[in-house]
Chains A and B, each alone.
Chain A
Amino acid sequence: MGVGIEVRGLNAWYGNNLALKSIDMTVPANHVTAVIGPSGCGKSTFVRCLNRMHETIPEAHAEGEVKVGDIEVYGDGTDPVEVRRRIGMVFQKPNPFPTMSIYDNVAAGLRLNGFRNRKQLDELVERSLKLAALWDEVKDELHKQSGASLSGGQQQRLCIARSLAVEPEVLLMDEPASALDPISTSKIEELIFQLKQHYTVVIVTHNMQQAARVAEFTGFFLMGSLIEYDKTEKIFTTPADKRTEDYITGRFG
């Protein structure tokens, strides 16, 4: 089951450059929450702070209070590796491990953390590929084909399956469909809709129609600040802030 996310006073820097300014946000469990905003507004930085991927960039760091379920993400003594294991991430560009088979790609997260049980591994790989709606297309080629030989849309679903295999509680998606064609995009969107039964999903998108289609809640970011955060319907029909309205009506961005 998914868990909720509580963000209080989150600041993030690149060197001396403040990229996120004291963000407060509550993401409900087992829902899809979209993060929208123009390029450079900090929306990707925001989700990368939720699983401490932000600090893997040289000279980048973040401070604040982030609670995902019972994990204090920025608590003293919290292991970022453990945080990332429990909070999965799907990236903008499909990034399967190129030298691994489809099976090995999905199993990688478990195996490289010391999981050895063959039979359970088989089951988890099958379950993850089914959840990611890729099983029927690849089940005969699991060990023969490289993950890199799939089409772009299939690769992205493979990456989703790979994230799901380690059984995270939250799934972060950073513009997961922006590099894909419309048909692959609609498959991914359908998939996101299914996934919220089991996971809390936070999706970054620069496509407002996509946010409207998949998300129950939407947050609008501008220049490192969270301007407005509400039910998706409310954001897109009667936004409270003038800047949100300007953005969704296409006056800038």
Chain B
Amino acid sequence: MLKQPGDASAQNLSLWRRVTDHAATWFAMAAAVLVIVPLLAIFIYLLIKGAGSINLAFLTQTPKPPGELGGGMANAIVGTGLILAVASVLGVPLGIGCGIYLAEYGRGRFGDLVRFTADVLNGVPSIVIGIAVYGLIVIRQKHFSAFSGGVALGVMMIPTIARATEEMLLMVPNVIREAALGLGIPKWRTTLSISLRTASAGVITGCMLAFARVAGETAPLLFTAFGNQFWNLKLNQPTAALSLQVFTYAISPYDDWHRQAWAGALILIVLIVAAVAAVRIVTSRGTLKGVS
């Protein structure tokens, strides 16, 4: 016999559905909150521990010798900027170029090989990349350098950017490419000015993810940039970096250095957030009405 809407079993069913519906919704909300909590907790803890040690001297001076109070991380802030600039100059164009190849041409076996290699490279521990760059560049040049640190981080950026670019380009509908080809626009121009432009928001997100990930890396810099207690603006000299400085200070026996390590960590996070926000603002400027 068919069940009528008023049947007891039908009511049970709707009650069961309401329960599962609520359970699923609450589970999703709880998961979302749980994701935010660690980030907020870290940030608040850093603020409490580090904000008090940030002052003009911290932002403008180089480290003082052990035992002397004061000094700052100005050289490490600049060094991190220098290393990240090298990494981005290397990683962004290579990553995007590789992603374009995979999306627009890489249908064959070679494409699969590149895709597999990129995924494996993404999983290689960062310290291994540091050692590899140490062997390839530092040993040959016989000195540590900002350049080799940038190369190590740049290599780490490539697979993330390449795969993000590929995914984003594959999401551009083929009718958009056809429209461009149909206008007599050459294929390379179509790829750069139409497909990549249409996918640009996602590609930029991929670049920012890769950038933010390597900005705080310490292990690959241990054998490459090495660190430096003094000013250095030359690419071929050992260079301080915030992450290295935080590492050195945090494991030191001095209370003043511990305080500075907290402050350095806070500055690092603030700079990463600021860099990502700045790129977002610059790239979203002049957005048109109705862009989907």
Contacts and interface: CB of A to CB of B under 8 A. Distances in A.
Contact of B184 (A85, A100, A145, A149): A85
B182 A148 contact: no
Contacts of B193: 108, 112
Interface size class of B (residues with CB under 8 A): 20 to 34
Interface string A83-123: 11110110101011111110000001100110000000000
Given A98-B176, A98-B198, A145 B290 contact: yes
Interface in A42-95: 51, 53, 56, 58, 81-86, 88-89, 91, 93, 95
Q: Which of A51, A81, A96 has the most CB of B within 10 A?
A: A81
Interface in A179-221: none
Contacts of A51: 182
B291 A53 contact: no
B66 interface: no
A144 B288 contact: yes
Contact of A91 (B179, B185, B197): B179
Interface residues of A, number: 36
B288 A112 contact: no
B140 interface: no
A107 to B, nearest CB: 11
Contact of B185 (A56, A112, A146): A112
Nearest to B187: A81
B21 to A, nearest CB: 35
Interface string B192-217: 01100110100000000000000000
A97 B175 CA distance: 10
A159 interface: yes
A108 B180 contact: yes
Given A101-B288, A112-B189, A148-B292, A95 B173 contact: yes
B198 A84 contact: no
A166 B184 contact: yes
A162 interface: yes
B181 A84 contact: yes
Nearest to B107: A58
Nearest to B173: A95
A95 B292 contact: no
A42 to B, nearest CB: 18
Contacts of A244: none
A89 B182 contact: yes
B285 to A, nearest CB: 14
B183 A95 contact: no
A146 B176 contact: no
A145 B288 contact: yes
B178 A53 contact: yes
B8 to A, nearest CB: 48
A89 to B, nearest CB: 4
B289 interface: yes
Contact of B291 (A109, A146, A162): A146
B288 to A, nearest CB: 4
A148 B289 CA distance: 9
Nearest to A150: B290
Most buried by B among A82, A100, A159: A100
Given A56-B178, A82-B184, A91-B175, A97 B288 contact: no
Contacts of A84: 181-184
Interface of A: 51, 53, 56, 58, 81-86, 88-89, 91, 93, 95-101, 108-109, 112-113, 141, 144-146, 148-150, 159, 162-163, 166
Top 8 A-B residue pairs of the complex, sorted by shortest distance between their CB atoms: A149-B290, A85-B184, A109-B183, A89-B182, A146-B288, A95-B175, A84-B184, A146-B290
19 contacts: A53-B181, A81-B185, A85-B184, A97-B180, A98-B176, A99-B197, A99-B200, A99-B291, A108-B183, A108-B193, A112-B180, A112-B183, A113-B184, A145-B289, A146-B289, A148-B292, A149-B290, A162-B183, A163-B182
